[in-house]
Amino acid sequence: MIKSLLVANRGEIACRVIKTARTMGIRTIAVYSDADKNALHVKQADEAYRLGPAPVSDSYLRAGRILKIATDAGVDAIHPGYGFLSENADFAELCAEAGMIFVGPPPAAIRAMGLKDKAKIIMSKAGVPVVPGYHGDKQDAEFLKRKAYETGYPVLIKAVAGGGGKGMRRADKAIEFDASLEAAKREALSSFGNDKMLIEKYVTAPRHIEIQVFADSHGNVVHLFERDCSLQRRHQKVIEEAPAPGMSDEVRQKMGEAACDAARAVGYQGAGTVEFIVDGEGGLTTDGFYFMEMNTRLQVEHPVTEAITGTDLVEWQLCVANGEKLPLAQDELQINGHAVEARLYAEDPGAGFLPSTGRLEYVEFPDNVRVDTGVETGDEITPFYDPMIAKLIVHDENREAAIDKLQRSLLKTVIAGPKTNIAFLLELSENAIFRSGTFDTALIDDNLESLTGPEDIDSRLEAAGIVALVRKEQARISSKVTVSSPWSLNDAFSNGQARRQQFKYVVDTEERSCPLIFDGADIHVLDSDNTPIDPPPEYNVVDTPARVYILKNGRQLKLEPYIASANVAGSGDSDGKVRVPMHGRIVSVSVADGDAVDAGDLLFAVEAMKMEHAVVAPHAGIIAECVVVIGQQMEDGAVGLRIEAAE
């Protein structure tokens, strides 16, 4: 029996596993990197042990270090969560050799499903439908290009290892193939240490529908119905739901049986997810779905399955790992209502979803829905890990009610500090195509401008921020704190006759100014017509030592006092400097000193938070100075190179 459990992971999934384990009376042990020493999962566990420095290669991927900690702590089992070592067959074997239970499938099943090309061969033999394409060992670039032509464009170039959309590129025509293949191989090698590729036919109206399966050591296999994960960007899931809209009982049964056949074909045990690419053209049919891959672990989106089935899948995992039979048989499982999960990230949708790092100055979630998170107020979003802040999971009697509930929950969520995707999630939840249930995986890309367009910030919201900032500076001056401040004029705060003053401030990184009227204790912001601007009726204010944040409907304004000597990040680029968009590692450089470039040409690529981001030329010119070097770690805003205008 499992009496003590080490969770070999971090963040929200570590907290999620710890929560169930503790309700089962199991002693919990956390591990952490230097960046996570004060993390929520460390605080929630009964014991916690240091792994090493922040990079995953020095911490969460150190199998030997994790096993030593587990041995010294006397644990019975190790739960890998998802990501990191969760689908590492060698690690599963090492756990067994050390006399510990690996809470996951047998190593042979992990290996069978770990490589997409081999998995598709196994599935085809088991009668599970697979996508047309090439899944062989030959990896010559010209050969793969020929196979793409034979398969028929558009095609997907996919890494045989890993998942999460990494090492994956779409090529719509032959001229795009070479660059797409090179980028996919580079990203796959960086993420998984394996740059072997497969080629698949791209389904033109694809939906991503997956089946949750569970198997025990007594020969029982069940499925817990489907999840629709078609709302994606960069092949990363954004909003998931269960059950899938438009799913008939006949198609559900057919897909469920195929998923169970897939599990049986590899002698599966524990929790697994069989992912299908589904042709959504004309609706869901019994012959319109194809095996894509099997994730041999718990999925990020497992809470929606728990919500509609009334189960605890982590509890099921621990029961199966104990050698017990599955808690329920197939005919005892049923769907109750509808559930939706939204992934809340620290990222900037308006800037190509670039990760946003920094201190979480304030975190508040709604109290009437399930929130899976691994952070709290004061925590840091670092460049070392996935930038997920939380998952909001709602459940209601039907799909429309569940989406409405998600909207209300997002509106009640307040995050100050790094930029977030809350407003983007709200736009998605209001999208008519998503609401209709007729969407496919292209919805976000096809509507990107409307979903992530320039923020239409209400002038009243900015006025509220200005007033809050002035109040803050008044308090600072009155407390006699010695700072360099624009508030050195004593008469600005006179309680006598109304006075007018021009106020300079910084909103995000942009310097601005506006006229203010000080009328006794009241402060009024004036518009261009010298008319006072009234603040909006509802908004949130977060006051920190250096700035104020004004938040409403998922939008965030960051206001700071203007200091003449301040070096505002992102300014001064008229001299041709091209800056690194985030803290990360340079993985490719496409230019050198003296090269001529046109606007939009690829300059270099930076890898951060397990994703690769291309930096392109903002205008035509000549590379005057190229600073970036492959393998170099660069800070956010650092100058990568300089472009001079061509003569």
List of residues 6+ apart from 597 with CB closer than 8 A? 591, 603, 617, 620, 621, 622, 623, 643
User: How many whole angstroms separate alpha carbon 597 and alpha carbon 609?
Assistant: 28
Q: Cβ atoms within 10 A of the Cβ of 47, count?
A: 15
- Does residue 520 lie in a domain region? yes
User: How many whole angstroms separate alpha carbon 126 and alpha carbon 291?
Assistant: 11
Strands (E), 374-417: 380-381, 388-396, 414-416
Q: Give the burial class of 176: count Cβ atoms within 10 A of its Cβ; 0-12 exposed, 13-18 middle, 19 or more buried.
A: middle
With a pLDDT cut of 90, the percent of the chain lying above it is 71
- Return the pLDDT at 256: 98
Between residues 480 and 57, the one the model is more confident about: 57
The whole-number average pLDDT for the span 149-173 is 89
Q: Tokens 């034979």 — which residue?
A: 150
Domain boundary residue, one of 430, 452, 474: 452
Instruction: State the Cα angle at 402 between 397 and 373, rounded to 5°.
Output: 120
Q: Is 18's pLDDT higher than 80?
A: yes
Q: Is 341's pLDDT higher than 90?
A: yes
Domain boundary residue, one of 159, 183, 201: 201
Q: Which CATH number characterizes residue 585's domain?
A: 2.40.50.100
- Neighbour order of strands in the sheet with 584-589: 611-616, 602-608, 584-589, 633-634
User: How many whole angstroms separate alpha carbon 230 and alpha carbon 246?
Assistant: 13
396-415 confidence digits (pLDDT tens):
999 999 999 999 999 999 99
List of residues 6+ apart from 257 with CB closer than 8 A? none
Q: How many contiguous H segments (helices) and E segments (strands) does the chain have?
A: 17, 38
Q: Is 488's pLDDT higher than 50?
A: no
Active site residues: 297
Q: Is 637's pLDDT higher than 90?
A: no
Q: Which CATH number characterizes residue 146's domain?
A: 3.30.1490.20
Q: Which CATH number characterizes residue 406's domain?
A: 3.30.470.20
423 and 475: one domain?
no
22 and 80: one domain?
yes
Q: Cβ atoms within 10 A of the Cβ of 349, count?
A: 23
Q: Tokens 């489907």 — which residue?
A: 226
Q: Measuring CA to CA, how many Å separate 328 from each of 103, 223, 319, 320, 334?
A: 19, 10, 12, 12, 11
Q: What is the DSSP string of 551-564?
A: EETTEEEEEEE--T
Domain boundary residue, one of 169, 201, 233: 201
User: How many whole angstroms separate alpha carbon 492 and alpha carbon 138?
Assistant: 75
104-142 confidence digits (pLDDT tens):
999 999 999 988 788 988 999 999 999 889 988 999 999
429 and 552: one domain?
no
DSSP H or E segment with residue 642: strand 639-644
342-360 confidence digits (pLDDT tens):
999 999 998 889 899 999 9
Q: Measuring CA to CA, how many Å separate 226 from each of 308, 338, 629?
A: 10, 11, 45
CA-based torsion, 451, 388, 296, 326: positive or negative:
negative
Confidence of residue 563 (pLDDT cuts 50, 70, 90): low
Q: Is 333's pLDDT higher than 60?
A: yes
- Return the pLDDT at 571: 29
Cα 103 vs. chain centroid, distance in angstroms? 24
Phi, psi angle pair for 429, to nearest 5°? -65, -20
555 and 585: one domain?
no
Domain that holds residue 590: 573-644
Report pTM. 0.81
Instruction: State the Cα angle at 495 between 492 and 499, rounded to 5°.
Output: 45
364 and 222: one domain?
yes
Cα 188 vs. chain centroid, distance in angstroms? 18
User: How many whole angstroms separate alpha carbon 520 and alpha carbon 523?
Assistant: 8
CA dihedral 219, 224, 225, 227 (to 10 degrees): -120
Between β-strands 621-626 and 633-634, what pairing exists: parallel, antiparallel or unpaired? unpaired
- Return the pLDDT at 482: 42
User: How many whole angstroms separate alpha carbon 54 and alpha carbon 104?
Assistant: 26
What crossing angle do the helices spanning 107-114 and 89-97 adopt, rounded to 10°?
A: 170
User: How many whole angstroms separate alpha carbon 87 and alpha carbon 97?
Assistant: 17
290 and 348: one domain?
yes
Q: Is 69's pLDDT higher than 60?
A: yes
Q: Give the burial class of 575: count Cβ atoms within 10 A of its Cβ; 0-12 exposed, 13-18 middle, 19 or more buried.
A: exposed
The whole-number average pLDDT for the span 438-442 is 93
225-252 confidence digits (pLDDT tens):
999 999 998 778 999 999 999 999 999 9
Q: Is 569's pLDDT higher than 50?
A: no
556 and 601: one domain?
no
294 and 443: one domain?
yes
Q: Measuring CA to CA, how many Å separate 221 from each of 295, 331, 521, 556?
A: 16, 12, 71, 47
The whole-number average pLDDT for the span 369-384 is 96
262 and 377: one domain?
yes
Q: Are 328 and 254 in contact (CB under 8 A)?
A: no
Q: Is 568's pLDDT higher than 60?
A: no
Q: How far apart are the first and last CA of the chain?
A: 76
Range from 159-163, 502-506, 609-613 that averages highest in pLDDT: 502-506
Strands (E), 34-81: 47-52, 77-79
- Return the pLDDT at 179: 95
- Does residue 125 lie in a domain region? no
169-206 confidence digits (pLDDT tens):
999 999 999 999 999 999 999 888 899 999 998 888 89
Tokens (6 digits) for 305: 């399955």
With a pLDDT cut of 70, the percent of the chain lying above it is 93
Phi, psi angle pair for 352, to nearest 5°? 70, 25
How many domains does the chain divide into? 5
Between residues 635 and 152, the one the model is more confident about: 152
- Does residue 288 lie in a domain region? yes
- Does residue 582 lie in a domain region? yes
The whole-number average pLDDT for the span 570-583 is 68
Confidence of residue 495 (pLDDT cuts 50, 70, 90): very low
- Does residue 444 lie in a domain region? yes
Smallest CA-to-CA distance from 339 within 233, 226, 432 is with 226
- Return the pLDDT at 570: 30
Tokens (6 digits) for 357: 């790092």
The whole-number average pLDDT for the span 260-265 is 97
- Does residue 110 lie in a domain region? no
User: How many whole angstroms separate alpha carbon 280 and alpha carbon 439?
Assistant: 8
User: How many whole angstroms separate alpha carbon 621 and alpha carbon 594?
Assistant: 10
143 and 51: one domain?
no
Smallest CA-to-CA distance from 636 within 352, 350, 389, 358 is with 358
- Does residue 178 lie in a domain region? yes
Instruction: State the Cα angle at 486 between 483 and 487, rounded to 5°.
Output: 85
Q: Is 288's pLDDT higher than 50?
A: yes
412 and 285: one domain?
yes
The whole-number average pLDDT for the span 416-428 is 96
- Does residue 115 lie in a domain region? no
The whole-number average pLDDT for the span 263-277 is 97
The whole-number average pLDDT for the span 379-407 is 97
Q: Which CATH number characterizes residue 86's domain?
A: 3.40.50.20
Strands (E), 314-378: 338-345, 347-348, 354-355, 358-359, 362-364, 370-373
List of residues 6+ apart from 451 with CB closer than 8 A? 349, 424, 427, 428, 431, 444
351 and 473: one domain?
no
